Amino acid sequence: MRYLKILIALLILCFGIVIGIIINDIPLFKLNPEIKVFEPLTFILTATIGVLIPFFIKRWIDDSRQIKNNLIDELKSTLKEYEIIKDKIRFCYNNKTISKSDKDEVNVLFEQADLRYNCLKQQMIEAFDKETKCIRDEIHNGCIDYWKHTTSAEMMSSKFKVVNETFYRQHNEIFLKFETIIKKAIIKVQKI
């Protein structure tokens, strides 16, 4: 190993000597004594800025776009969690019955959806805190309204055995309002 290092060092030294001889025999660049020292440095600095600034700006734009896409995906996932609840209510409506286990399942589904929303909210705070404050408030209010209606005292009472037409229609109206809030949030995130 030691001999290999010595051999490599000698080869580099010989290569350097050969390059030096070639450069002295064939000068590629001649320095003009009229050029001041700061002029080449200014040129190098300008060229460096010209190359690096577009690179960093493109990277910054790509990073921002990726963050927005992740937030949009998270918004869509949050909506899907709430759609599962809507589907459960539809299932109970179509079966013309709702059991205690169905009501318990709706509560569990709301807990899962709430966890997804909290994850979304945290990501929005981390990515664009000031820009998404209004969006977060709207989504939060929509979540609360949907939760209050769907898990109202009327529905959770032991006397509530059938999802009737009125309850189902009101449920769909509130869900559509919530869905609209999420879809508007997606558009607002794209515009950030």
Q: Which of 33-47, 69-83, 146-160 is the most confident on average?
A: 69-83
Calpha distance 39→48 (Å, rounded) = 14
Give pLDDT, residue 31: 59
Average pLDDT of the chain, as a whole number: 82
**pLDDT 10s digits, 12-30:** 877 777 777 666 655 555 6
Per the model's pLDDT, the better-predicted residue between 19 and 115 turns out to be 115
Mean pLDDT of 131-139: 88
- Cα 39 from chain centre: 45
Calpha distance 87→167 (Å, rounded) = 14
Q: What is the DSSP string of 47-91?
A: HHHHHHHHHHHHHHHHHHHHHHHHHHHHHHHHHHHHHHHHHHHHH
Give pLDDT, residue 159: 80
Give pLDDT, residue 180: 92
| Residue 10 banded pLDDT, cuts 50, 70, 90 | confident
Give pLDDT, residue 62: 66
Calpha distance 116→49 (Å, rounded) = 43
Q: Is the pTM of this model over 0.95?
A: no
